[in-house]
A and B are shown apart, each in its own frame.
Chain A
Amino acid sequence: MDKIKSIEELRKLREQAQAFLKTRQGEAKVKVYISMGTVGIAAGARDVLLAILDELQKRNFTDVQIIERGSMGLDVEEPVVAVERDGIRVYYGHVTPEMAREIVASHVINGQIVSDWVIAKE
């Protein structure tokens, strides 16, 4: 897709986005938590978040809510991403942008937990 350069183009994007939103009702099916305390940010949480957004867009998946959690007290595991789907919350540690893309594809969209990277479940 071409880069958005003006407010006008942003306005057009909205129409496109609205079509996707129509399919979503009430609470989002999947919640993605990302830890953005000082340690998370220094470890690369921002790039992980952007990779998640990019992958969601590529796959046209909007039934998701992204929530910032601050530090979850798991500093040695930062960046930490948690995915909540079907009532289970799964934590992934040392997430890189590449890992984040795979987590989006397998877990967020298809419900397949990427077990190799899981650090906790609740």
Chain B
Amino acid sequence: MRFALRHGAERIELEVEEEAGGYRVSDGKRTWHVRIEERRGAVRTVQVDDARHRVGVMRKGEAWDIVLEGINHEFIAREARFEKLLELQKDRAAVSAKAEIRAPIPGLVTNVLKKAGDTVAEGEPVLILSAMKLENEIRSPRGGRVIEVRAKAGAAVEKGEMLAIVE
């Protein structure tokens, strides 16, 4: 099965096949032989070729979070053939030119600075999200007009929750 993995702007395409005792993974140039310990829990022993690692593995919404040597790698893995379709849809969405402002972290909305109808400049703060003793200015990714503000002062929001829409 062929997968497209996305990590931020990076994209890796990998072919996965079962083989004796594990899996064979290839990106066309390199090949890895991967074995994953069968065990409950989020920390597993993983063998990649001859190297053994203790790896954190977690399903986070749509993504896989792999903690390898202390570094979190978050991948959205899709079957390569479906991924192309999804990209097309995304391009179409981009044309409509609405920007959603979502909570980058869970937190408490402490101040809403803009209301529907206001104009914003790119990078202008739209609201203040407090989390872990820090006040974070949530800025507009683009200039335009605020068409909707969903965030309410005093409300707790989850990561990824929609806060406002800018057009």
Question: Are A and B bound to each other?
Answer: no
Q: Which residues of B contact A (CB under 8 A)?
A: none
